[in-house]
Structure 1
Amino acid sequence: WAESATLAVLPNAPSLIYPGKNQERLLKKRNRLLKKLFEEKTIDQLTYELAIQEELPHKPYQLPQIAPHLLQKVNKLQKGKRVETSVNKALQQRANTIVKNHYNNLKQNKIFNIGVLILDVKTRKVLAYVGNSPTDKAHQKDVDVIDKPRSTGSILKPFLYAAMLDAGEILPKTLVADVPTQIANYNPKNFNLEYDGAVPASRALSRSLNVPAVRMLQQFGLDRFHHYVKRIGLTDIKYGANHYGLSLILGGAESNLWDLCKGYAALSSTINHYDETQGKYYKNEFVNPTFLANTTINFGKVSTEKTIFDAGSVYLTYQSLKEVNRPEEEENWKFFDSSKEIAWKTGTSFGFRDAWAIGSTKDYVVGVWVGNADGEGRPGLVGLSTAAPILFDVFNVLPKSKWFVKPFDELEKIPVCRKSGYRASEICETQDSVFVQRSGLQTKACPFHLWVHLDENEQHQVNSSCYPINKMKHTSWFVLPPLLEFYYQRKNPNYQTLPSFKSDCNSSNKAVMDFIYPKKKVKVFLPKNFHEQTNQLVFKLAHTISNMKVFWYLD
């Protein structure tokens, strides 16, 4: 009777009196009606006395807004149904708090939007879904940035590295060229605008060097890698390989956080399932994650055939990603037993419009995107400094996981040249016995070690035309091509260039040189300066003999 009386006395203008506003007036009106009902003997005395003792209902609580963007997605896909999600409430709330704290800092630089997705690798279920930061309508707070296509930056590089390992194109430490590169009109550059000459493939990945990545993609084949990307399930890559060109590996294509986390979760699960099934693979490994609590993911049939990548190649890829330099607060992680081993990668799109960080342990995948939903670029919007701190804050609230079990059946221990990273040849003087993927057995032997004949003092190269054979010293020498050598020796002071031939020797070896700039078939436009004079052009080349006199012929 108390509730019925309260509803009956609410005015037609509910903004004047309602639960939570003008409570005293509402209480008097309700009790007056109850008294009238008692006097007219509609209710008895006991009912009346109990009714007036009841409190008025208070202001209604707000509906929980813990994961509003996931609610939008559920409403769109499961409209009208009662749905229980797989979201872990406590983890979702902690992720919301982390995003809010970073948003308060990033908005000072006019960076307003953040997305965070946490997946369980084993069940492939969504554990937390932060579709956007707590910004305002002016900055698209209602946009779910997790499923929106954005430029990938460098976030696809691990897939290329894994593909090349899987195909037997490289070994983890194989040297790849890092020199000025011009491919048609495409001129990729490293983020720091420097070159190492030659760098191990694993270090090129962990340092996210652009030039080696482009050259590796060119070597592997653009169409071939595009086919891999489509099989991984990156749905926003809708055009043919030639549409993207070699920039595909540096952010020339778009993808979304959902698909990328799906891909990384599948890589992690490939290693886990290989261990759990004693050396087998699931056919449907690259399956879509789910946010439904009562749905069980079907990974398909078990097979001895790999799905896309073999477990050994994925494991070696993750070993490289574990060495990626962490943000300042995490840079000394190796010195602490409590630190978590995480395979992770950042990405930054052209124009500083998108910052990515995706990481995986054996049990969890965490993906972070930071930027502006309207596409505005901002200085400092870099994966390492904006997205990575959020990634590690999220991992810090997740349980610690053991590192992946090494898939020994997909790895072989072979001698590898310590300097070149190729399979060791018989003349490689320093060799390491390391585990490589089984397909790596087909890679070629070290091409950079040569037999060199020196005089007794080891000062000059000699041959039988000028020096007694019985006095020669024969040694193995690590020799890079001139262009690689030019940059490599700057970063590697222990690198020794080949000695020159003795002056009286008839050298059959031709001196080798290579152009640094310009490259073949390059068109150079020379603008005029403020004095209407055409600017000069600097020609540059590298030569194996540093004091060689070079004649230039200009047409």
Structure 2
Amino acid sequence: MKRIGSFGRRHPKKLILLAVLLIAYYFCLPKNLFKSPTATVVESKQGSLLGAMIADDGQWRFSEVDSVPSKFKACILQFEDAHFYQHPGFNPIAIVKAIKANISAGRTVRGGSTLTQQVIRLARNGKSRSYFEKFIELIWATRLELNRSKEDILKLYASHAPFGGNVVGIDVASWRYFGLRPHQLSWAESATLAVLPNAPSLIYPGKNQIKLLDKRNRLLKKLFEKQVIDQTTYELSLLEELPQKPYPLPKTASHLVQYLAKKNKAERIKTTVDENLQRNVNAIVQKHYQNLKQNQVHNAAVLVLDVNTREVLSYVGNTATTKEHQKDVDMVQANRSTGSIIKPLLYTAMLDAGELLPDMLVPDVPTQIAGYAPENFNESYSGAVEAKKALARSLNIPAIRLLQQYELEKFRDQLNFFELGGINKPADHYGLTLILGGAESNLWDLCKTYANLASTLNHFNTSSSEYFKNEFTDLILKTDQTVDFGKLSTEKTVFDAGSIYLTFQAMKEVNRPEGDESWQFFDSSKEIAWKTGTSFGNKDAWAIGVTTDHVVGIWVGNADGEGRPNVTGVSSAAPLLFDVFDVLPRSKWFQKPLDEFTDIEVCSQSGYLATDICPTKTISIPNKQNYVSECKYHQMVYLDQAKQFRVNSSCAELASAVSESWFVLPPLMQFYYRTKHPSYKVLPPFQKGCSNNSASPMDFIYPKNGSSITLTKGFNGKTNELILKLAHTKPETEVYWYIDETFVGQTKNFHEMAVLPSKGKHRIMVLDAYGNEIVVSISIQ
């Protein structure tokens, strides 16, 4: 320090200059050497390339590698810079030899640059080749050696070296020229890539094969002579062929790449996607696409989730169709009409609210609500059906009636909790069609919702009967992310575990597609809770399946919204669903959450709470206040001794009559119920002389009271007739039809009457042979 101080006093200007030079040297190297844009790179959980999007400058340039493959490192050091680990960034001996050789030849025949200098040259891309530029490269190279480790410098070179055309970096080069990951390259393949950056435009693969082969083989010989490889490896490597043309980069999950690039552009993303499963699902989708396109159905999407981690295991956004048929549209994220796919949410909500029992009969008859007349998919009616079977069979009319009973607005508000994309309008906008596909959502959010329900049930059974507060969370796509389920609580998150379990039990009974009807009889079968959905006009076919470990979601249709015949959840989406489940590990069925259940007595025929006069059975339901009424379909009747006629106090001594509990449905329900249940017994008629004050045995099927009807015209220009339909508990009874007190005809067995009323309001009355009367008022437009 004294000498420096003395020198400073004697030569202050030189000291200042020296300090300025040292400061300039310290700050001469940019913090970020490379600012070129990089590609968006998406990898599987195993580290394999699923797909990529080219960088903004049109170059295939991946982000910096985290390690340099050992074979490529050995090759590049022997070919470019054998003394890399000994020099300080430049090699004086190599520089002197290069200058002498170039002067002697009168042109540049040899370079003296080290790998460190080449990294600087790549970073200063576009600078003219001059001695001054060489001087700057040398200064920067020494500064880089002080700033970064040798391994870091090697990674910079491997990441930014040119490999011909628009291929930059070892990662892209190994995929483009050999279709392999860099660490999977052989010695011959590594040697081929090591010689490319030296003259990438001159020996681009597929061109100048002799020159490229000569360079590669000379490098292999050097590796053998330096004992880097043995003789057998050397001889076998010489036999390997050169790449003839670039391979296309993998497109194993192209729509996932597009999706991630929106928020992670120019990043390298390691996803949770399982490579083998993704390839299997791609093959399954392609197989089904070959069949679907015969019906001019061109698009499909599949999403596979891990229930316990919320990880996305497979993401197929569309089929390998054409641009004309919207192959680039990501149908995992696209909002489409939900069809019946959210019916299980209503079923769970009503169980959770204590307003539904699994075996409770729900009317399944022609229905008109405020001008809306829903129909079942098969356009038939059951009269009455158990709630769980209505869900399993995806019947529309029971769903509409249950939603009306539960209240539309209450259910719409509950859907907010699931954050279903596309369902963002008030209840009045959707009306009761909400449950049949009047709203739109996407495969991502629907699968997430079912995964959350399954996880709620799993966690309840493994956490001393408690719920996680953050159970309903988003899905995980990156390996560096995990789900935070929050703290445990005795309070349910949305639905209790018992209601979810009963819903899954009902969904397990859904009839499988053709060929799998007897699935439950095979030991290899998988127990799956699943649901299909079909939108109006056969535009969207859905299927979602749930097990304790996985959720599989399927959408099939045309991205442009064109409907096609026979495009249904059962026929189009479900076969794909079960093929995907076939490549997944088998899961155990959900464990029953015993702490959430209590036993009650219900009527064995109606499913309502038991009364003193109906046969009963014991069932388990969620342990909560129950708002379901007592059975209203059983009534005590009095019969004569022969049990042929009913009697009452007006015609018989009740003490001598036979009393019996009788299952009785209202006329309209009974009319359809009998067609599905031949064992149903109608009430016997009253004995002659008995007065009958019971409810009418008739009911209108169509029209309903207060209906406003518009009569259409046929192709011949004539107004079509109005068809009046009636249900009678005894169809063989004659009935008499009147419009505005005017007799228009009588019917027997099949009670239908074609009429042509004038515009305006009308009163339709029907009398049967026993004097029973029913009346409706309608308006003709």
Question: Do both proteins adopt the same fold according to a TM-score greater than 0.5, normalized to the shorter chain?
Answer: yes
- Asked if structure 2 preserves the Cα contact closer than 8 Å seen for 1:516 and 1:541, the reply is yes
| Aligned with 1:523 (options 701, 708, 714) | 708
SS in 2 for 1:165: helix
Residue aligning to 2:437:
251
Aligned counterpart for 1:464 among listed residues 630, 640, 649: 649
1:178 aligns with 2:364: yes
Which residues of 2 match residues 64-463 of structure 1 at below 5 A?
64-428=250-614, 430-439=615-624, 441-463=626-648
What secondary structure is seen at the aligned counterpart in 2 of 1:375?
coil
SS of 1:274 mapped into structure 2: helix
Measured in 1, the distance between the counterparts of 2:428 and 2:207 equals 65
Query: Who is 1:39 aligned against?
Result: none
Q: CA deviation at 1:283?
A: 1.4
**Counterparts in 2 of 1:201 and 1:6: CA distance versus 1, 3 Å:** closer
CA contact (8 A) 1:357 1:383 kept: yes
- Once the two structures are TM-superposed, the CA of residue 322 in structure 1 deviates from its matched residue by 0.3
Aligned-pair distance for 1:61?
A: 4.1
Segment drifting more, 494-503 vs 343-352: 494-503
Pair 1:116–1:529, CA change in 2 (3 A): closer
**Higher relative contact order (Cα pairs below 8 Å, separated by 6+ residues):** 1
Asked if the contact 2:335/2:421 (under 8 Å) is kept, the reply is no
The structural deviation recorded for 1:123 is: 0.5
Partner of 1:482: 667
1:509 equivalent in structure 2: 694
* Structure 1 Cα separation of the partners of residues 345 and 208 of structure 2: 63
Contact 1:165–1:440 (CA under 8 A) maintained in structure 2: no
Q: Which runs of 5+ in 2 are unaligned?
A: 1-78, 81-191, 741-761, 763-781
Q: Who is 1:40 aligned against?
A: none
Shift in Å, 1:442: 3.4
The structural deviation recorded for 1:199 is 0.5
Identity of aligned residues (%): 54
Q: What is the deviation of 1:410?
A: 1.2
| Cα deviation, residue 197, structure 1 | 0.6
Q: C-alpha distance in 2, partners of 1:510/1:78? A: 69
Name the residue aligned to 1:37. none
Q: How many residues align?
A: 537
Q: In structure 1, give the amino acid aligned to 2:438.
A: G
Equivalent position SS for 2:515: helix
Residues 462 and 226 of structure 1: CA distance in aligned 2, closer, same or farther (over 3 Å): same
Alpha-carbon distance in 1 for matches of 2:210, 2:515: 56
**365-374 or 511-520, larger mean C-alpha shift:** 511-520
Amino acid at match of 1:62: P
Tell me the alpha carbon deviations over residues 124-168 of structure 1, each in whole angstroms, 9 at most, x when there is no partner: 111111111112222222221101100101101000111111111
TM-score of the superposition, structure 1-length normalised? Answer: 0.91
Could you tell me whether the CA contact under 8 Å between 1:117 and 1:129 is conserved in 2? yes
Do the aligned partners of 2:697 and 2:729 also contact (CA within 8 Å) in 1?
Answer: yes
When the two chains are superposed, the root-mean-square deviation of aligned CA atoms in Å is: 2.6
- Measure the CA separation in 1 of the matches of 2:304 and 2:674: 44
Measured in 2, the distance between the counterparts of 1:164 and 1:174 equals 12
Unaligned 5+ segments in structure 1 are: 35-42
Map Cα deviations across residues 64-100 of structure 1 (whole Å, 9 max, x no partner).
2211211222222222333221111111111111111
Q: In the alignment, which residue of structure 1 is the partner of 2:680?
A: 495
In 2, Cα distance between equivalents of 1:528 and 1:75: 55
Structure 2 CA distance for partners of 1:490 and 1:80, relative to 1, 3 Å:
same
Report the secondary structure of 1:485's partner residue.
Answer: helix
Letter in 1 for 2:719: T
Amino acid at match of 2:365: V
Q: Residues 478-507 of structure 1, C-alpha deviation per residue, up to 9 Å, x if partnerless?
A: 111111111111111111111111121123
Displacement of 1:19 after TM fit? 0.8
Conserved? CA contact 1:322–1:342, under 8 Å: yes
Change in CA separation of 1:102 and 1:362 when aligned onto 2, cut-off 3 Å:
same
Structure 2: how far apart are the matches of 1:10 and 1:273? 57
Q: Distance in 2 between matches of 1:422 and 1:181?
A: 22
Change (3 A) 1:131 1:218: same
Shift of residue 333, structure 1, vs aligned partner: 0.8
Aligned equivalents of 2:446 and 2:713: distance in 1? 46
Secondary structure of residue in 2 paired with 1:184: coil
Distance 1:83 1:9, change over 3 A: closer
- Whether contact under 8 Å (1:347, 1:356) holds in the other structure is yes
Provide the rounded CA distance (Å) in 2 between the counterparts of 1:243 and 1:21.
Answer: 64
Conservation of the 8 A alpha-carbon contact between 2:457 and 2:500: yes
- 1:38 is matched with none
1:511–1:545: 8 Å Cα contact kept in structure 2? no
